[in-house]
Amino acid sequence: MANRFPSPDYHFGYRKAPVSGNTINGLGEMAQRRARQVFHGSGARKLEWSSLETFFGLTMPLHIYFRNALNRWKLRKADGPIARKRTPVSEPADMSSQLKAIARQAGAGAVGITQMTDDALYEGQTADYQTAIVIALPQDYETMKAVTTVKAAAETVDTYRNVSRIVMVLAAHIRSLGWRARAYGESADLLHIPLAINAGIGQLGKHGSVIGTEFGSNFRLASVLTDIPLATDSAVDIGVDDLCLGCQRCTIDCPADAISDQQQWVRGKKKWYVDFDRCVMYFVKTLGCGICIEVCPWSRPGRGPSLSQTLLAKRAKRDPT
């Protein structure tokens, strides 16, 4: 364990422990089902671990708490009326390119498009849209080196605020073309990670975050759900599993010992999984943590593309078929 990070001792806890987040998340379950919300609600409803989330929010410095509240105010325009005249889309591929260009112009680091799927929705929720546009916005790497401090927490909140702005711009543009579109920023209703993976933004890393070619996992996600006809992207293989199977950086550096070296069964899929109960306590203690994102070798600026090439070349050499 790297001793530059705070120790995993907690001066807060539950007298009567809530249902384990790992149980709610379906750890060890072989049958497929949709996810259930545990933590990170929008504050609009009570979840099993709500008390810890309340503690997390209310012990944040006011300027960070206030920025979050301000983002909630702006997010009211994440959906809105649709233009009466609909612009027909004869070439979905062209429309995809146009929307990606708008997103990049608004500041997006990576953009991917995929079919909307049920596994991106929590149990009991519906979102009657055809397509998801997923946006990744990188965080400032130098600032994020200060993870577990107020400085890094502020950068994370600002990145969420900025990525929310981008998806709202994109959704407003689509609605102006006469098609339904709803932006999901810091949303409690949508699981951005499965969409990001299907949209080719990156692959799931062992630390439970998406690793993309260019920014590693040093980015935040937001999405637009829409009905406008679009050409979709495909999931990518950039060699993340090859890296994560051999690299122990986040496993070792995680003070809470929450990151496993083995993929595990979660709701009918074998995948990387982070121990929720261990992670969340440390996350709350350290203003949103982020150690695993910061120490991931892929997150170092400029490293990703060459790392991906090397990993894929090694694999091709090892297994020429």
Partner 1 sequence: MSSFEDQFYRTDRAVWPRIKRDLSLAIWIAKLILTWFTQGRRLRKASCRALREENVLYLDDLIDSEKDG
Residues that bind partner 1 (CB under 8 A): 10-16, 41-46, 50-52, 54-55, 57-59, 62, 65-66, 69, 72-73, 75-76, 78-82, 125, 180, 182, 184, 187-189
Q: How far apart are CA 137 and CA 221, in angstroms?
A: 7
Rounded distance between C-alpha atoms, residue 185 and residue 168, angstroms: 8
Contacts of 261 (CB under 8 A, 6+ apart): 206, 248, 251
Nearer CB in complex with partner 1: 45/317: 45
CB of 131 to partner 1, least distance (A): 18
Q: Which is nearer to partner 1, 124 or 302 (CB)?
A: 124
- Reported as half-sphere exposure (CB side, CA atoms, 13 A), residue 299 has a value of 26
Closer Cβ to partner 1, 47 or 293, answer by number: 47
Least distance between partner 1 and beta carbon 104 (Å)? 26
Residue 26 Ramachandran class (φ > 0 left, ψ -120 to 50 alpha, else beta)? left
Least distance from C-beta 76 to partner 1, angstroms?
5
DSSP states of 61-121: -HHHHHHHHHHHHHGGGGS-PPPSSPPP-S-HHHHHHHHHHHHHHTT-SEEEEEE--GGGB
CB-nearer residue toward partner 1: 14 or 101? 14
Closest separation in Å from C-beta 39 to partner 1: 13
Shortest Å distance, C-beta 307 to partner 1: 37
d(CA 203, CA 271): 11
Choose between 31 and 58: whose C-beta lies nearer to partner 1. 58
> Min. distance of Cβ 268 from partner 1 in angstroms?
25
Nearest distance from residue 157's CB to partner 1, in Å? 14
Q: Residue 265: left if φ>0, alpha if ψ -120 to 50, beta else—which one?
A: beta
Nearest to 137 by CA among 171, 108, 166, 103: 108
CA distance 167 to 195: 14
- If the CB atoms of residues 2 and 69 are measured against partner 1, the closer one turns out to be 69
Q: Which is nearer to partner 1, 16 or 317 (CB)?
A: 16
